Amino acid sequence: MPAAFAAGTGAFEGAQITKIADLDAVNKGVGAGNATAPFIDSIDWYGGNSTDESFFIFRYCTEPENCVIGTATPDGGLIQSAFNPPAGYANLSGAKVSPAGNALLFKAMHQSGREDLFTYFKGSTVMYQLTNGTAIGTYSWLADGNVTYSEPRAELTCLDGAACKNQQFSYSTKIWAIRPTGEKLRTIYESPNTSIADYAVSPDGKKVAYVDFMGEPFDPKKLWRLSVFYSGSIKVLESNRDGDGYYSPSWTPDGSAILYGSVSQKPFAARGNSTLGASGWLGLVGADGEERGRMILGGNTEGRGAVPFGAAITHDGSRIIFAVNQDVEGDGIDGAGIYSMALAHPIPEFPFAAAIAAVPVAAAIAWFRLRWNR
């Protein structure tokens, strides 16, 4: 039985955590073989925006360049491989489920070393290759069933001429919208001074929550929200402690808030909270920037925090599935594996999903297209 989780505040107060699968169970379920550096992330509900939550999907890596896609039941009782990679490809990146729940979007590495984006329509053998050697950062579905992906760029400037010992990097990111069969549609966002690490599109398709790299390269420091349909961005959350970073943003079902993972290498003792040398937590922040709660997951005195990866919330807002990859113990955490968190204060169900369910599919698609083209 799960124990009451005392480290939660706000939306997480009174939540309970249960470990549903350890890394050995996951490795055996997906048939991955020997694992030298196991890792789990990119959790999503297999049914998309439908209320079918009989399975969730995840990425499992035995080592950094050997990753597969698996599915599991919410109780961890059945874990299996989801599908085989395209011919000539391996090392899959996390799969994202389409809003309709009928297709998966994923990235795979070709034997030549390049990475390409694919869509796979469930229950068939059909896979579409969407890109061919283009630099790909992260990717997501839009509410209308089209696909987005980020194209990161980095430019090196030598400040001291040919010697190039004094270097300066500049980063930019362009986010494209394309059809799930590969036709490029439009640029939906472009930033000349931002390197986007991870992003998620809101359920209504109007907002994007993203983590961007500012300052030191590849050090995720800030969580932002921006509008897809209007220019500019609104800052939601900014790290203000040394060593903190934000990871894996995802939207709540009602589209009002952003769920995220975070870690701090600054000792908790310095903040008066614990004697742990590092800490990880699951946080909830409103799209307007209002803090709605944190769930401290603990860490250890060696400076390793229990960072939550790939959190996915049920459509009724009552449960969160997430992974921890550090072999640490904390409040409710017992080593690496997949965890289920039952919320004492469920987040209201996203009302727009129910409205769409009552509308013919063709009409819903037409409505999305109308909104998109405004």
In this prediction, residue 187 carries a pLDDT of 81
List beta partners, residue 308.
Answer: 324
Distance CA 120, CA 126 (A): 6
In this prediction, residue 243 carries a pLDDT of 55
- Asked if 85 contacts 108 with a C-beta cutoff of 8 angstroms, the reply is yes
194 backbone dihedrals φ, ψ, rounded to 5°: -135, 140
- Containing domain of residue 114, as a range? 3-372
Q: Of the given ranges (144-148, 215-219, 283-287, 361-365), which has the lowest mean pLDDT?
A: 361-365
Could you tell me what percent of the chain has a pLDDT over 70? 71
**pLDDT digits over 188-230, tens only?**
777 666 677 788 888 887 788 888 765 554 455 566 655 544 4
pLDDT band at 279 (very low <50, low <70, confident <90, very high): low
Instruction: Report helix, strand or coil for 178.
Output: strand
CB burial of 170-194 (b: ≥16 within 10 Å; e: otherwise) equals ebbbbbbbbebeeeeeeebbebeeb
Question: Between 105 and 279, whose confidence is greater?
Answer: 105
- Asked if 219 contacts 233 with a C-beta cutoff of 8 angstroms, the reply is no
- Rounded to whole angstroms, what are the CA distances from 202 to 126, 141, 305? 27, 10, 28
Question: CB within 8 A of 220, min separation 6: which ones?
Answer: 197, 198, 211, 212, 213, 245, 246, 247
- Round the average pLDDT of the chain to a whole number and report it: 75
**pLDDT digits over 171-185, tens only?**
667 888 899 988 888
CATH of the domain at 299: 2.120.10.30
Distance CA 209, CA 186 (A): 19
pLDDT band at 168 (very low <50, low <70, confident <90, very high): low
Q: Judge whether residue 29 has pLDDT over 80.
A: yes
**pLDDT digits over 101-122, tens only?**
889 999 999 989 889 999 998 8
User: Longest C-alpha distance within the chain, in Å?
Assistant: 65
In this prediction, residue 369 carries a pLDDT of 32
Cβ neighbourhood burial of 155 (10 Å; 0-12, 13-18, 19+): exposed
Residue with tokens 């990753």: 67
* Degrees, nearest 5: CA angle 149-185-152: 30
Question: Between 354 and 121, whose confidence is greater?
Answer: 121
**Total of domains in the chain:** 1
Rounded to two decimals, the pTM is 0.78
354 backbone dihedrals φ, ψ, rounded to 5°: -70, -35
Of 310, 328, 325, nearest to 23 by C-alpha is 325
**pLDDT digits over 34-78, tens only?**
777 788 888 888 887 777 889 999 999 888 778 889 999 999 888
Type of residue numbered 357: A
Q: Judge whether residue 283 has pLDDT over 90.
A: no
Q: Judge whether residue 356 has pLDDT over 90.
A: no
pLDDT band at 278 (very low <50, low <70, confident <90, very high): low
pLDDT band at 169 (very low <50, low <70, confident <90, very high): low
Q: Judge whether residue 5 has pLDDT over 50.
A: no
Of 34, 35, 107, 21, nearest to 69 by C-alpha is 107
Pairing mode, strands 308-313 and 291-298 = unpaired
In this prediction, residue 45 carries a pLDDT of 87
Q: Of the given ranges (206-215, 245-254, 305-314), which has the lowest mean pLDDT?
A: 206-215
Length in residues, the chain:
374
| Mean pLDDT on 306-324 | 86
Report which listed range, 214-228, 229-243, 254-268, is most confident: 254-268
Q: Judge whether residue 269 has pLDDT over 60.
A: no
The token pair that represents 114 in the structure block: 């390049």
- Rounded to whole angstroms, what are the CA distances from 97 to 42, 118, 206? 11, 12, 18
